[in-house]
Amino acid sequence: MHFRNAYIEDLPFILEVYNSSIPGRMATADTEEVSESFMLEWFKKHSSNRPLLIAEVEAKTVGYISFKDFYGRPAYNGTAEISVYIHPQHQRKGYGRKMIEYCISNAPHLGIHTLLGFAFSHNTPSLKILLEYGFEEYGYLHEVAIMDNKKFSLKIMGKKLAE
């Protein structure tokens, strides 16, 4: 698996992958498809120390990783939230694990000492992978999301990296 910085030309792929995750009610709290202009604003918020990365396998784009500031205050600069999204055609092939491994091994180069992953409590596959890689439950937000008239809880998973 190869990782590279995302380019503006990758935005249609990113949008497709993100929007494809919405109906399953597992990976995002968005309830309707988002627009390209919305994703463009999100895209622009990434930087060299909070990158947006494209994951490729044999020159085929399979997913993306987003590093995001946590809480936006200077004292939290060493903490980042990661999001991993994989195109539906490439799910269940072990790519998520490789993407998490990449996040863990490269986070220190970005000045990150703590990684966070937010996952719905019913998103067992994502939680399983995070636990496999040493993430622990840092928080539990009971029934904070409502989708399709159902209440969902959110787990905040965290991993302290070696300094």
Domain boundaries along the sequence of the chain: 2-117
2-117 under CATH 3.40.630.30, yes or no: yes
Least Cα distance to 86 among 14, 9, 8, 157 occurs for: 14
The confidence score (pLDDT) of residue 72 equals 84
Looking at the predicted structure, is the pLDDT value of residue 107 above 70? Answer: yes
Q: Mapping DSSP to helix (H, G, I), strand (E, B) and coil, where does residue 56 land? A: strand
Rg (CA), the chain: 15
Q: How confident is the model at residue 163 (pLDDT cuts 50, 70, 90)?
A: low
